[in-house]
Amino acid sequence: MIPDAMGEAAAEAAPAKVNLYLHVTGRRPDMYHELDSLVCFAGAADRLRARPAASIDLTVDGPFQEGLSPGSDNLVVKAATRLAAFAPGPVGAALRLEKNLPIASGIGGGSADAAAALRLLSRLWDLPAYAAAHVAPSLGADVPVCLGSRTVVMRGIGEVLTPITLPEFSLVLVNPGIGVATGAVFRAFHTAGTGFSLPVKLPDLPDALTLAEFLRQQTRNDLELPARALCAPIDEVLRALAATAGCLMARMSGSGATCFGIYAEAHQAAAAAAALSGRGWWCWPAR
């Protein structure tokens, strides 16, 4: 573990989660939604740091700190508190979250932060690996997939994860600076009455073009239309991404409003991000 300027014992990245497709396949009697999603992780990330302390405390800084509470309702604090129950004695940590990802943006920022806290504090407190895995599902449907932060097909209510390998490709993430509440998007999805989708079987995906064609022709994000009805700027972002040179497809991630474009080459993604950032949007190119 590498100390930093704050004298902390550990640090952990919380990378952005990207739903390359997202099908809502059903709803259980307990009202949890069943999903089928191809998930990857981008280089854009929050960063969580910690040092031993007598209690669990969180401070938040970074470009997207505004409006984010450091109190008991923060997922990082919830993760730490629940994980502490697995320690043989009293434990604590002074945590500092550098919030680089937009809030309520469909790329799992809060879930990624909670997962980073579980990884970080498991090391700091010398806990067995099963502790973090046990706590993760109780924090939200995206936390188990963020705990591993690897490319997977995610099914069930987020707990059935099948690792896969994708070809190399580049992404540009774009957020128009407007938060979208996941609950409101799901309510709009049910109000629209479009019904549930079927799971998808992944074919061979040897290159970025084949991947983009598969995603465009055989998959979708079931939450995109209801999110667009609630947040009109999503339409503008998708049109702008699709118009950039080399964009193979554009789609919204999660419940929005962050969208992504897929590119075969890193220089195409970098040029697109540079062009789109001039509109005042948050943009991030990633391989």
- Which positions are catalytic? 17, 142
Please state, as a whole number, how many other Cβ atoms lie within 10 Å of the Cβ of residue 219. Answer: 19
Please tell me the distance from the alpha carbon of residue 223 to that of residue 23, in angstroms, as a whole number: 8
Contact between residue 100 and residue 45 where contact means Cβ atoms under 8 Å apart: yes
Among candidates 77, 48, 18, 29, which has minimal Cα distance to 249? 18
Q: Which residues pair with 172 in a beta bridge?
A: 261, 285
Cα 283 to Cα 102, 130, 156, 259: the distances in Å are 10, 36, 31, 10
Residue 152 phi, psi (nearest 5): -145, 165
Give the relative orientation of helices 75-84 and 109-124 as an angle to the nearest 10 degrees.
Answer: 30
Please tell me the distance from the alpha carbon of residue 58 to that of residue 69, in angstroms, as a whole number: 9
261-286 b/e (C-beta count within 10 Å ≥ 16 → b)? bbbbeeebbbbbbeebeeeebbbbbb
Please tell me the distance from the alpha carbon of residue 28 to that of residue 13, in angstroms, as a whole number: 33
Please tell me the distance from the alpha carbon of residue 74 to that of residue 266, in angstroms, as a whole number: 35
